[in-house]
Structure 1
Amino acid sequence: MSHSVIVIIGVLYLLVILAIGILSTKHQKDMDTFYVGGRRFGPWLIALGISSTTMSGFGFIGLPGLVYENGYPMFMISIFATGGIFVSFLILAKPMRRITQKFNSLTIPDLLEIRYNSKAVRGITALAILGGAVGYQMTQYIALGSMIEVVLGVDYKWAVSIGVVILTIYVISGGMISAVWTDFIQMIVMVGGALIIFIGGLVMMGGMSELNTQIADIDPEMLNPYHSTGEITIFTFISYFILYMIGHQGQPHVVTKFYMIRKMSMLKWACIIGAATYAISSLLLFSGLYARVMVENGSMEAPASPDLVAPMFISNFFNPVVAGILFSAVMAAIMSTSEAFLLIASSSIVRDIYQQIIKKGEKLSQKKELVLSRWITLAIIVFTFLMSFNPPALVGWLGNASWGIFAASLVPVLSIGIFWKRATRTAAIWSSTLGLIFSIGLYIASVKGWYTPKLDTGVTALIISTVTFIGISLMTKPQSSIFFDKKSDRFESKKEKTMEI
Structure 2
Amino acid sequence: MNTIEALIKPMPGAFYTVIVAYFILMAAIGYYSAKRTDTLREFFVMGGKAGAVVAGIAYFTTQYSMSTFMGCPATCYKVGFAGLTISVPGLVFSMIIPALLIGRKLIKLGHKYHFLTVADYLADRYESTGIRILQAILMILFLIPMMGAQTIGAGIILRTFTGAPEWVGIVTMGLIVIFYCLFGGIRGAMLTDVVQGLLMVATAVVTFIISVRMGGGFEAISRKLFEMNPEYLCHPGVGGIYGWPNYVSMIVLWSFFSIGQPTLFTKFFTMKNYKVMFKAIILGTLGMWLSATLIEWSGVNAIAFIPGLAGKDIDFVVPIILQSGVSPIISSLLIAGIMAAGMSTIDSLLIVSTGGIIRDIYQNVINKGATDAQVLKLSRVFVVLIGLLGIFFGLSRPATIFKVILFAFGGLGIWVAPILLGMYWKGATKHAAIISVIIGEILFVLMTLKYRSWALGFDPLIPAWIVTMIFMIVISFFTPKTSQETLKRHFGAS
TM-score normalised to structure 1 length: 0.91
Segment of structure 1 superposing worse, 258-267 or 107-116:
258-267
Distance 1:369 1:304, change over 3 A: closer
> How many Å separate the matches in 2 of 1:421 and 1:340?
31
Segment of structure 1 superposing worse, 37-46 or 149-158:
149-158
Q: Is the 8 A contact 2:65 2:342 kept in 1?
A: yes
Q: Is the 8 A contact 1:81 1:244 kept in 2?
A: yes
Deviation track 1:328-375 (CA, whole Å, cap 9, x = no partner) reads 10011111100000111111111111221223xx13123321121111
User: 1:262, CA displacement in angstroms?
Assistant: 1.2
2:429 maps to 1:420: no
> How many Å separate the matches in 2 of 1:146 and 1:169?
22
Indicate the residue corresponding to 1:189 in structure 2.
199
User: 1:2, CA displacement in angstroms?
Assistant: 5.5
Deviation track 1:48-102 (CA, whole Å, cap 9, x = no partner) reads 1110011111111111111111112222123212112111111111100001112
> How many Å separate the matches in 1 of 2:435 and 2:442?
10
User: 1:288, CA displacement in angstroms?
Assistant: 1.5
Indicate the residue corresponding to 1:389 in structure 2.
395
Code of the residue aligned with 2:185 in structure 1: it is: G
Deviation track 1:382-415 (CA, whole Å, cap 9, x = no partner) reads 122122222221100111111101111x101112
Indicate the residue corresponding to 2:364 in structure 1.
356
Q: Is the 8 A contact 2:65 2:341 kept in 1?
A: yes
**Unaligned 5+ runs, structure 1:** 491-501
Question: Secondary structure of the residue that 1:61 maps to in structure 2?
Answer: helix
User: 1:323, CA displacement in angstroms?
Assistant: 0.5
User: 1:483, CA displacement in angstroms?
Assistant: 4.2
Indicate the residue corresponding to 1:205 in structure 2.
215
Q: 1:69 aligns with which of 50, 70, 78?
A: 78
Indicate the residue corresponding to 1:11 in structure 2.
20
Code of the residue aligned with 1:121 in structure 2: it is: I
Q: 1:429 aligns with which of 423, 434, 444?
A: 434
Distance 1:479 1:171, change over 3 A: closer
Segment of structure 1 superposing worse, 181-190 or 387-396:
387-396
Question: Secondary structure of the residue that 2:106 maps to in structure 1?
Answer: helix
Code of the residue aligned with 2:15 in structure 1: it is: I
Code of the residue aligned with 1:345 in structure 2: it is: S
Indicate the residue corresponding to 2:33 in structure 1.
24
User: 1:435, CA displacement in angstroms?
Assistant: 2.6
Give RMSD over aligned pairs. 2.2
Q: Is the 8 A contact 1:401 1:457 kept in 2?
A: no
2:274 maps to 1:264: yes
Question: Secondary structure of the residue that 1:38 maps to in structure 2?
Answer: helix
Indicate the residue corresponding to 1:295 in structure 2.
306
Q: 1:406 aligns with which of 405, 412, 422?
A: 412
What pairs up with 1:202-281 in 2 under 5 angstroms? 202-227=212-237, 229-281=239-291
**Unaligned 5+ runs, structure 2:** 1-9
Q: Is the 8 A contact 1:125 1:432 kept in 2?
A: no
Q: Is the 8 A contact 2:15 2:161 kept in 1?
A: yes
Segment of structure 1 superposing worse, 124-133 or 32-41:
124-133
2:63 maps to 1:54: yes
2:377 maps to 1:371: yes
Question: Secondary structure of the residue that 1:105 maps to in structure 2?
Answer: coil
> How many Å separate the matches in 1 of 2:173 and 2:71?
17
Indicate the residue corresponding to 1:454 in structure 2.
457
User: 1:12, CA displacement in angstroms?
Assistant: 1.1
Q: Is the 8 A contact 2:210 2:322 kept in 1?
A: no
User: 1:307, CA displacement in angstroms?
Assistant: 1.4
Code of the residue aligned with 2:24 in structure 1: it is: L
> How many Å separate the matches in 2 of 1:153 and 1:93?
45
Q: Is the 8 A contact 1:115 1:481 kept in 2?
A: no
> How many Å separate the matches in 2 of 1:482 and 1:114?
11
Consecutive aligned runs of 4 or more in structure 1 exceeding 6 Å deviation? 301-304, 449-452
Indicate the residue corresponding to 1:445 in structure 2.
450
What pairs up with 1:300-379 in 2 under 5 angstroms? 305-359=313-367, 362-379=368-385
Q: Percent identity?
A: 24
> How many Å separate the matches in 1 of 2:199 and 2:484?
45
Segment of structure 1 superposing worse, 207-216 or 261-270:
207-216
Indicate the residue corresponding to 1:496 in structure 2.
none
Code of the residue aligned with 1:375 in structure 2: it is: V
Aligned residues: 482
Q: Is the 8 A contact 2:174 2:390 kept in 1?
A: no
User: 1:489, CA displacement in angstroms?
Assistant: 5.7
User: 1:210, CA displacement in angstroms?
Assistant: 3.0
2:151 maps to 1:141: yes
> How many Å separate the matches in 2 of 1:486 and 1:120?
20
> How many Å separate the matches in 2 of 1:488 and 1:470?
18
Indicate the residue corresponding to 1:83 in structure 2.
93
Q: Is the 8 A contact 1:29 1:366 kept in 2?
A: no
Q: Is the 8 A contact 1:226 1:236 kept in 2?
A: no
